[in-house]
Amino acid sequence: MTIFDIPVKTLSGEESSLAAYAQNPVLIVNVASKCGLTPQYEGLEKLQKNYAARGFTVVGFPCNQFMGQEPGTAEEIQTFCSTTYGVTFPLFEKIDVNGENQHPIYAELTKSADAEGHTGEIRWNFEKFLISPDGSIRRFAPQVEPEDPILVAAIEAALS
């Protein structure tokens, strides 16, 4: 079983998985609407628009585990993201990325190390995981902006 086979629910509560994205690069991000890093939605949407035609997608998982920064309902999250940042990339159900109720996708993702060697628990909202078509995973700290040349180069490499 891969990350793409793990059951998830869409933001509207429908059963799903990430299987539709398995052959292309995917950037999985734990997102929040009331965080100092929330403006990263704008950059994530730019990545989506710039690379969607080449098969890339951003996938957001709202999470309320960091100082209650995603308290909204699914409908509130969808409305905020679409009206404030014009988000078109898929958002899935609000989940736990750490702890006893950690979602299985994040149990897999957090095994990967970032550039500083950090593995394990998610440190904050907007931690990013780039999954290449070959299944390799690159982890990026929350402070790495979507427009960061290192992240953009990694996406470009995954697309080639």
Per-state percent for the chain, helix, strand, coil, to nearest 5: 30, 20, 50
Looking at the predicted structure, is the pLDDT value of residue 1 above 80? no
94 has a pLDDT exceeding 80: yes
Q: Scan for tokens 């992240």, then name that residue.
A: 151
Only one residue has tokens 């780039």, namely 130
pLDDT single digits (tens) 115-131: 899 899 999 999 999 99
| Amino acid letter, residue 88 | T
pLDDT in tens, 32-71: 999 999 999 999 999 999 999 999 999 999 999 999 999 9
Asked whether 78 and 11 are in contact (CB, 8 A), the reply is: yes
- Catalytic positions, written as ranges: 35
- Phi then psi dihedrals of residue 82, to 5 deg: -75, -40
Helix or strand or coil: residue 28?
Answer: strand
Edge to edge, the sheet with strand 137-140 lists: 57-62, 26-31, 128-131, 137-140
Query: Which class is domain 3-159?
Result: alpha beta
Each domain of the chain, given as residue ranges in start order, spans 3-159
Residue 88 has pLDDT above 80, yes or no: yes
